[in-house]
Amino acid sequence: MSRITPPSRREFLLTLGAASGALLTACGSETGARGGAEAGVPPTPWVKDPGPFIRHPTNLETRLELLEGLLTPNELFFVRNHAPTPRLDAADFRLRVEGDGAANPIELSYEDILRLPSRTLIAYLECAGNWRSFFDRVLGTPARGGQWGTGAVGCAEWTGTSLANVLHLAGLRDSAMDVNLFGVDAGEFNRPMPVDKALDPNTLLVYAMNGAVLPPDHGYPIRAVVPGWAGSNSVKWLGRIAVSTERQWVRNNTTSYVLIGPRWPKEQHDPADGAVITTLAVKSALALPWPARLATGRQLLRGFAYSPHGRITRVEWKADEATRWSRAQILEPVLPHAWVRFEFPWTATPGSHTVRVRATDERGNTQPDSVPFNEKGYLLNIPLPHPVEVA
Ligand SMILES: Nc1nc2c(c(=O)[nH]1)N[C@H]1C(S)=C(S)[C@@H](COP(=O)(O)O)O[C@H]1N2
Ligand SMILES: [Mo]
């Protein structure tokens, strides 16, 4: 197990040391309108300022055009909540690890987790529903679920400990098969993964995001981050882990995150409505509003590209009816679990235009020209025809 000590972790631990008391309660002590404690007032679904986001009923969508560096700042990172953000205090945090796959059930405190070997990873996180609205807006067949544009994705530096460390403390048995993570939010959001994925050293239990204490909306005090897999595996506000020697079937792998459609065969013996989604797909998106408005003249267009299967090696673009794709420039760094930034110059002439971008990863996965429809609107990754009005 490698012990990585980047500046952000040092900073985090310094903050923790200098102000541990205040820090541990900082997230539970907010008062005023956002506290949501008054009787009869429904709790605000999120804690952060929704101002810079595209607002959905309980979710906040990032406006990619506001992002500059590789890392999405915490205050601009999208929020996907099935229930309002719970107001928790690290001092009360307990993580139970139990189930017939754990020979030594345990209960860990926040400090117990901070004391485990730390690991830092830059990784993007994408909601399975990202781009869902384009089934309707581009392909003309609406899919069920939150109508996200391109902003249910972000890239952050996560610091925590490998989930494997916690599983080993709990006496993981050889016969263990599935590991289900439970949040403490209303409805106890939970999503199981096979033990192999749980033991991947990059599957983390995280307490810091971009060098700061994990914010309430992103799972404070502890969340999972499962790089490369749909965001729903990265359970926030963790409270319990159930390790089983059999497969675990719950709402989130029988009805919610499954592919339902004529071209998506389901596993015959699974009690699920369709094939369960794990990894998502290679994608690229322009950092522009949809539709975009630009001034006439030479413009530097930019965007983000990512793949769950490996590093991005190529990004291309084309405008309007162009038959050939042109190369965009990929900006360093190109990291295995992160997204990349890309840019290319485009000469904008007055009128209505369509600009497409297309990414390819190191294993040759690229964005296809069509994808089969599925009812819940997952895995759409065609090069999007981004509408651009030039005046
Ligand atoms: N406890 C809990 N964890 C959760 C969720 C939730 O509603 N409750 N939403 C999941 C989904 S669907 C996604 S895409 C990611 C979003 O993480 P973020 O809100 O930090 O961007 O969290 C996941 N973890
Ligand atoms: Mo999601």
* pLDDT digit string, tens, across residues 179-198: 999 999 999 999 999 999 99
According to DSSP, residue 11 is labeled H
Residue 150 structure tokens: 């391109």
Q: How would DSSP label each residue in 194-220?
A: EHHHHHSTT-EEEEEETTEEPPGGGTT
What pLDDT shows up at residue 259?
A: 83
What pLDDT shows up at residue 74?
A: 98
Q: Is the CB of 78 under 6 A from ligand 1?
A: yes
Lowest mean pLDDT among 23-32, 109-118, 196-205, 341-350: 23-32
Percent of the chain predicted with pLDDT > 70 = 90
What pLDDT shows up at residue 363?
A: 98
What pLDDT shows up at residue 10?
A: 45
Mean pLDDT over all residues of the chain?
A: 90
Instruction: Name which residue sits closest to atom 10 of ligand 1, judged by CA.
Output: 232
What pLDDT shows up at residue 7?
A: 41
Q: What would the pLDDT profile of 372-383 be if each residue is shown by its tens digit?
A: 999 999 999 999
Lowest mean pLDDT among 2-16, 262-276, 321-335: 2-16
Percent of the chain predicted with pLDDT > 90 = 80
What's the pLDDT band for 238 if we cut at 50, 70, 90? very high
SS3 of residue 387 by DSSP: strand
What pLDDT shows up at residue 266?
A: 78
Q: What would the pLDDT profile of 269-281 be if each residue is shown by its tens digit?
A: 788 888 888 899 9
Taking residues 33-39, report their average pLDDT: 50
SS3 of residue 180 by DSSP: strand
Most ligand 1 atoms within 8 A of CB, residue of 82, 185, 213 to mutate: 82
Lowest mean pLDDT among 1-5, 135-139, 272-276: 1-5
Q: Which residues of 62-80 are buried (b: 16+ CB within 10 A; e: fewer)?
A: bbbeebeebbbbbebbbbb
All structural domains of the chain with their residue ranges: 9-248, 283-390
217 and 46 Cβ atoms separated by less than 8 Å = yes
What pLDDT shows up at residue 377?
A: 93
Q: Is the CB of 190 under 6 A from ligand 1?
A: no
What pLDDT shows up at residue 83?
A: 95
Closest-CA residue to 273 (of 263, 284, 265): 265
Indicate which atom in ligand 1 lies nearest the CA of residue 79: 19
* Angle at 337 (CA atoms; ends 210, 73), nearest 5 degrees: 25
Q: How would DSSP label each residue in 251-307?
A: HIIIIISEE-BTTBPPPTTSSSSSEEP-B---EEEESS-SSEEE-SEEEEEEEEEE-
Closest-CA residue to 189 (of 198, 197, 180): 180
Q: Is the CB of 231 under 6 A from ligand 1?
A: yes
What's the pLDDT band for 35 if we cut at 50, 70, 90? very low
Cis, peptide link before residue 333, omega less than 30° from 0: yes
Contacting residues for 250 by C-beta, under 8 A, at least 6 apart: 180, 190, 191, 192
What pLDDT shows up at residue 255?
A: 80
- The amino acid at 223: R
Q: Is residue 31 pLDDT above 60, yes or no?
A: no
Lowest mean pLDDT among 38-47, 63-72, 144-153: 38-47
Indicate which atom in ligand 1 lies nearest the CA of residue 224: 24
Distance CA 45, CA 218 (A): 12
Most ligand 1 atoms within 8 A of CB, residue of 87, 234, 255 to mutate: 234
Distance CA 175, CA 101 (A): 7
Q: Is the CB of 218 under 6 A from ligand 1?
A: yes
Closest-CA residue to 148 (of 164, 161, 135): 135
Closest-CA residue to 192 (of 159, 157, 229, 161): 229
Taking residues 10-37, report their average pLDDT: 41
Q: Is residue 28 pLDDT above 60, yes or no?
A: no
Taking residues 97-102, report their average pLDDT: 98
What pLDDT shows up at residue 249?
A: 84
Q: What would the pLDDT profile of 280-309 be if each residue is shown by its tens digit?
A: 999 999 999 999 999 999 999 999 999 999
Distance CA 82, CA 173 (A): 32
Where does 127-177 show beta strands of DSSP type E?
Answer: 153-162
What pLDDT shows up at residue 6?
A: 43
- The amino acid at 337: H
Closest-CA residue to 303 (of 275, 340, 333, 256): 340
What's the pLDDT band for 123 if we cut at 50, 70, 90? very high
What is the dotted CATH code of the domain comprising 283-390?
Answer: 2.60.40.650
What pLDDT shows up at residue 21?
A: 36
Contacting residues for 96 by C-beta, under 8 A, at least 6 apart: 105, 106, 107, 239, 240, 241
Distance CA 128, CA 277 (A): 8
Instruction: Name which residue sits closest to atom 23 of ligand 1, judged by CA.
Output: 232
Indicate which atom in ligand 1 lies nearest the CA of residue 59: 19
What pLDDT shows up at residue 319?
A: 98
Count helices and strands in the chain by DSSP H and E runs? 7, 23
What pLDDT shows up at residue 32?
A: 35
Contacting residues for 218 by C-beta, under 8 A, at least 6 apart: 74, 77, 79, 209, 236
Position with higher pLDDT, 251 vs 377? 377
243 and 197 Cβ atoms separated by less than 8 Å = no
Ligand nearest to the CA of 210: 1
Cis, peptide link before residue 291, omega less than 30° from 0: yes
User: Which of 3.40.640.10, 3.90.420.10, 3.40.140.10, 3.30.390.50 would CATH assign to domain 9-248?
Assistant: 3.90.420.10
Q: Which residue has the tokens 């209505």?
A: 352
